[in-house]
Structure 1
Amino acid sequence: MKIGITNVGTKRLAEHRRDGWSIAKTQYFAFGSDAYDVEQAVLYACATSSAFLHICPPTKCGAVERRKPQTQT
């Protein structure tokens, strides 16, 4: 499983497909900071949820930083 963000118009998704990855979901965000926040929340959930540990062990989840998502008030 690979979770990440990319800009519209780049070749990144095509490169992942070429390398054998399947794209399960894409979501457009008006602001890169919003995409980053969602990415970090998903990575945090993967790293801390026992349901994901067999798919994405914390040492191989692909996240350099697994920070707890910040809540907005």
Structure 2
Amino acid sequence: MTGTETAGRSGLRVEVPGADPVIVAVITAAVDEVWPRPSAPASDDGASIPAWRFSGRWWSRPATVRRDRPLT
């Protein structure tokens, strides 16, 4: 790195010819703080899905089966 070039924790390289190196370092540190970091992907192991899952509910049957016949 030469002159007014700096690198942040995320590997961001900034080169600003003629700028004060302290100012460039402060701006790079601020960008590193507010820039979103990649998060770990959500696991698809199925542990968060409840086992019963609406079994036996009236709305789980098709609409044609739920219809009551008119009394005659």
TM-score, normalising length from structure 2? Answer: 0.30
Greater share of residues in strand = 2
Which one has more relative contact order, counting CA pairs under 8 Å at least 6 apart? Answer: 1
Greater share of residues in helix = 1
TM-score, normalising length from structure 1? Answer: 0.29
